[in-house]
């Protein structure tokens, strides 16, 4: 089925065509019809599968078909998201899909002055994408009014639960006194998420789960290096130098560690940028823009930013630290292999992190291939001959090198 076959506005079809969207992904194919019908939806789908468009397309279409002019009479849809980066990413999708329609979309988040946001809302919008903190500030100031909201969307609900936003979600639901539709989207599912989801959607909600047996994209190839903590910066330096044309996203456990890794790379003349909660919004936006445009090809991030990074051409994700919450592995590596693109995920695992690695393998239901290394050599000569080769080719050649090395030892 193609998007041109859907019973949606021709303007939206044109926007989809301009964006290069011809056929719906699995989650879009399953979610768009029930959302158009006004049903509650509880959807679980791995990251990078097009979840945002799965709810944006039908919501924009319904509002566009209902309105008679561009003028707005009040907010009709609220999209709640956990982080600023994700709010900006989703806001961008809504803006692109609603181009030339009668629908007005707007994004609010913390970290910037409220005045411009207040004016825009007062001028009239139809769809609000918001982080909980700033949204509640504006609700308390009576800038955001909820009486005309007919659709509530909770995106990345698992992360909102992790960040302690569950009471905010329940509060918004209580404030929506009129009949409304609830769309609940999450990349992972566990008992807590199920409990939250079932408390927010109707019992008749359509339940959708895409690829439940494999929570990660099949477009991503996984590798692990067993590297002690003190040696990780050496391996990162080597890997970056061996892939001079690749865009690489590096995940670390804490903001302090992000800055330390960045300084370590700076000492060896490798240019990087960092993104974490200690940065103000302008700095975060500037880092994302530089990474997206290729001005800087190495971005070092913490988990809080993982889901807001939607760049189609990230070649490698490196888990400099193994995530303490194993679900975050899914969200980290979901930044590569997006859509139809291929990508690779490489994890540096120290001795003390091995139990976490086992849990990750259980979560993704597969063993992760090991790249064998030696501390004194840090992936030797092979690297110089493979600068333009894939990680898979590098692994195979390194294995051959190891076999030859063992034979030399026997002699």
Whether residue 329 sits in one domain with residue 391? yes
Per-residue confidence (pLDDT) for residue 406, from 0 to 100: 53
| Positions of the chain with pLDDT lower than 70, given as ranges | 47-48, 211-217, 305-308, 339-340, 374-411
Q: Which of residues 185, 209, 233 is at a domain's end?
A: 209
Per-residue confidence (pLDDT) for residue 265, from 0 to 100: 96
CB contact at 8 A, 244 and 385: no
Whether residue 335 sits in one domain with residue 240? yes
Per-residue confidence (pLDDT) for residue 381, from 0 to 100: 42
pTM over 0.85: no
Could you report the per-residue pLDDT of 69-109, keeping only the tens digit for each?
999 989 999 999 988 888 988 999 999 999 999 999 999 99
Residue 348's H or E segment, with its range, is: strand 343-349
Kindly state the DSSP code that residue 374 receives in the 8-state scheme: -
Contacts of 99 (CB under 8 A, 6+ apart): 15
Per-residue confidence (pLDDT) for residue 379, from 0 to 100: 44
CA distances, 103 to each of 3, 64, 210 (Å): 19, 6, 29
What's the total number of domains in the chain? 2
Whether residue 377 sits in one domain with residue 278? yes
Whether residue 296 sits in one domain with residue 173? no
Question: What tokens were used for 126?
Answer: 């139809």
Whether residue 267 sits in one domain with residue 151? no
Contacts of residues 141-146 at CB distance under 8 Å and 24 or more positions apart, as own/partner, are 143/118, 144/75, 145/74, 145/75, 146/75, 146/78, 146/172, 146/175, 146/176
Per-residue confidence (pLDDT) for residue 207, from 0 to 100: 92
Per-residue confidence (pLDDT) for residue 375, from 0 to 100: 57
Could you report the per-residue pLDDT of 321-337, keeping only the tens digit for each?
999 888 788 888 888 87
Whether residue 402 sits in one domain with residue 352? yes
The parent domain of residue 360 ranges over 220-408
CA quadruple 69, 75, 80, 81: dihedral positive or negative?
positive
Cross-sheet strand order for the sheet of 127-130: 105-108, 127-130, 77-80, 151-154, 181-186, 41-44, 206-209
């Amino acid at each position: 089925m193609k998007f041109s076959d859907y019973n949606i506005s021709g303007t939206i079809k044109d926007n989809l065509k301009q964006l290069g969207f011809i056929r719906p992904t699995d989650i879009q194919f399953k979610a768009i019809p029930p959302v158009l019908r006004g049903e509650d939806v509880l959807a679980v789908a791995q990251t990078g599968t097009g979840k945002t468009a799965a709810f944006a397309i039908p919501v924009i279409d319904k509002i566009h078909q209902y309105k008679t002019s561009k003028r707005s009479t009040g907010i009709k849809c609220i999209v709640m998201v956990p982080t600023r980066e994700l709010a900006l990413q989703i806001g961008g999708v809504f803006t692109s899909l609603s181009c030339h329609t009668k629908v007005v979309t707007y994004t609010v988040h913390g970290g910037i002055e409220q005045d411009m946001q207040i004016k825009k809302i007062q001028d009239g919008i139809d769809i609000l994408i918001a982080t909980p903190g700033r949204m509640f500030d504006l609700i308390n100031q009576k800038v955001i009014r909820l009486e005309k909201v007919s659709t509530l969307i909770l995106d990345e609900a698992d992360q909102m639960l992790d960040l302690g936003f569950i009471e905010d979600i329940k509060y918004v639901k209580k404030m929506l006194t009129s009949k409304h539709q609830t769309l609940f989207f999450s990349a992972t599912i566990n008992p807590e998420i199920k409990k939250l989801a079932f408390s927010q959607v109707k019992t008749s909600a359509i339940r959708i789960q895409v690829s439940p047996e494999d929570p990660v994209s099949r477009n991503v190839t996984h590798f692990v290096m067993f590297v002690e903590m003190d040696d990780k910066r050496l391996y990162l330096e080597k890997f970056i130098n061996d892939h001079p044309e690749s865009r690489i996203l590096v995940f670390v456990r804490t903001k302090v560690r992000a800055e330390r890794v960045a300084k370590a790379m700076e000492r060896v003349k490798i240019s990087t940028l960092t993104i974490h909660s200690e940065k103000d919004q302008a700095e975060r936006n500037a880092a994302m823009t530089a990474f997206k445009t290729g001005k800087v090809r190495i971005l070092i991030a913490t988990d809080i930013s993982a889901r807001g990074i939607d760049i189609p051409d990230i070649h490698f994700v490196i888990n400099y630290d193994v995530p303490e919450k194993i679900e975050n592995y899914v969200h980290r590596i979901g930044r590569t292999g997006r859509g139809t693109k291929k990508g690779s995920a490489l994890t540096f695992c120290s001795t003390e992190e091995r139990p976490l690695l086992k849990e990750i393998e259980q979560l993704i239901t597969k063993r992760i291939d090991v790249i064998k290394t030696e501390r004194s050599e840090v992936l030797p000569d092979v690297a110089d001959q493979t600068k333009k080769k894939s990680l898979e080719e590098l692994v195979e050649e390194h294995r051959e090198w190891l076999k030859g090395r063992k034979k030399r030892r026997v002699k």
